[in-house]
Amino acid sequence: MTDVSNRNQLAYIAAQASDARVNVEFETEGMTLNLGPQHPATHGTLRVIVKLDGERVLRADPMMGYMHRGYEKLAEVRTYPQVTALVNRIDWLGSFANEVPFILAAEQLMEVEAPPRAQWIRTILFELSRISNVILFLGDMGVQLGAVTPVFFAFRDREFVLNQIEAVTGGRFHPNFDRIGGLKDDIPRGWIEETTGVLGRIRTFCDEMEDLVTGNEIFQARTRGIGVIPPEVGLAYGLSGANIRASGVDWDLRRDGGVGLAHDQVDWKVWTHPDGDSFSRYWVRLQEVREACGIIEQLLGGIPSGPVMAKVPRIIKVPAGEAYVETENPLGVMGYYVVSKGDLVPFRVKIRSASFSNISITPWVLEGTYVPDVVSILASLYFILGDIDR
């Protein structure tokens, strides 16, 4: 195992050395270009080293780590409520969704189950964070391809969702609302009605995106047939979420997993697309936003009454053990492996983040494409740097 990676490393260094001669001169063979880490195209500080032949990519290597904040190390010295507050910031666009698997894992260790009302509200906030996250993707993909207007519509309509999240949790971007055993607080009066109104706006936004983006022939010409990922390759590289569903794999942890969220109480559908190209990844996410609106509407209609917090002690000491919980987060499958030794503080938290596996396919899928397609494919894979680097 080690000498394969050494060989690869040596080959890489040799290739870099041979490219170092080819610097700025006008040569059409093997120009090495750095996309990032500071670049308008990447969703953060990701560096993609592409070796070009004219406009065709010979090889592409993503280089991450520019945003590593040491979450797993930090989690070893923070109490469970503090870790919950920190973990919001991994995928900062759909931030409530980051807390959920961690809290569910801790609840599994403590053998405590959140009351039904808490589970339903948790699911509502989970789907709201999915909407907030994916709306930004829908606008952002437009801007990566050159259309400047969809992203403004995305930010405009996202404000309404963030306002609703703020009305419950107090924080637009970092709710810090999930607690072991339930939620921090209950929902204020009038929230259900307001949120139903907001869902109508989101549906209008989805229709606008269909008119403005997916219906646009230029967009289709830029994304259809680009970056095709066959399902076996996708699964082998660990793609998850909408990326793999766009390749035709019918797999969604909300339906197939068994965690403490209320998705099995409502009627909803998993969207897949057979093509596996950039267009299908966009399309699947668009439909997922609509589906999430439907899920939230059904949930809002029937939140069970009751307490919002189970009986847990004030100072939380999680009994010793290990638990792994993964959920279908907006970016893909996110999982937390929590090892506890019976302290106030977890012994080890391993975070399986979706974007880390999603960009592992980048060298495979970018080979042989054009430079403009590199941007289109990276945009459609949709990663968040905080999720990759943690």
For 377, phi then psi, to 5°, come to -70, -45
Residue 58 CA to residue 47 CA, distance in Å, equals 16
Residue number, 125 or 244, with CB nearest to another protein: 125
- Closest approach, Cβ 328 to another protein, in A, equals 26
Q: Least Å distance between CB 253 and another protein?
A: 27
Identify which of residues 67 and 147 has a Cβ nearer to another protein in the complex: 147
Tokens read off for 190? 């009038």
Applying CB under 8 A, the residues found at the interface with another protein are 24, 26, 31, 33, 35, 39-41, 55, 78-79, 81-82, 85-86, 117, 142-149, 152-153, 156, 159, 163, 166-171, 174, 176, 184-192, 208, 211-213, 215-222, 303-308, 370-375
Distances (CA, A) of 92 to 4, 173, 183, 292: 36, 7, 20, 19
Supply the minimum distance, in Å, between the C-beta of residue 168 and another protein.
Answer: 7
Report helix, strand or coil for 290. Answer: helix
Sign of CA dihedral 114, 116, 122, 127: positive
Dihedral of the CA atoms 61, 285, 38, 48 (nearest 10)? 10
Please report how many Cα atoms fall inside a 13 Å half-sphere around the Cα of residue 302, on the Cβ side: 8
222 in Cβ contact with 214 (< 8 Å): no
Q: Which of 54, 14, 13 is nearest to 33 (CA)?
A: 54
Q: Are 229 and 361 within 8 A, CB to CB?
A: yes
- Based on CB atoms, which residue is closest to another protein, 15 or 233? 15
Which residue, 190 or 258, has its beta carbon nearer to another protein? 190
The Cα angle at residue 243 between residues 59 and 354, in degrees rounded to 5: 85
Nearer to another protein, 304 or 319 (CB): 304
What is the phi/psi pair of residue 32, to 5°?
Answer: -100, 125
- CA–CA separation, 110 and 317 (whole Å): 8
State how far the Cα of 23 lies from the Cα of 32, in Å rounded to an integer: 8
| Least Å from the CB of residue 267 to another protein | 22
Task: Identify which of residues 205 and 356 has a Cβ nearer to another protein in the complex.
Answer: 205
Helix 80-87 vs helix 96-110: crossing angle, to nearest 10: 150
Residue 95 vs 357, nearer CB to another protein: 95
**Shortest Å distance, C-beta 306 to another protein:** 6
Q: Which is nearer to another protein, 150 or 332 (CB)?
A: 150
Least distance from another protein to the Cβ atom of residue 65, Å: 22
CB of 251 to another protein, least distance (A): 30
Encoding tokens for residue 223? 């994304």
The SS3 of residue 223 is helix
Least separation, in Å, of the C-beta of 215 and another protein?
4
The CB-of-54 to another protein minimum distance in angstroms stands at 8
Paired strand residues for 129: none
- Rank residues 143 and 233 by Cβ distance to another protein and give the closer one: 143
Shortest CB 48 distance to another protein, Å: 11
| Rounded CA separation 126/116 (Å) | 15
Q: What's the closest the beta carbon of residue 240 comes to another protein, in angstroms?
A: 26
Q: Strand, helix or coil at 36? A: coil
Handedness of CA 129, 133, 138, 143 (dihedral sign): positive
> Which lies closer to another protein via its Cβ, residue 217 or residue 267?
217
Spatial CA neighbour of 365 closest among 248, 244, 270: 244
In this complex, which beta carbon is closest to another protein, that of residue 3 or of residue 217? 217
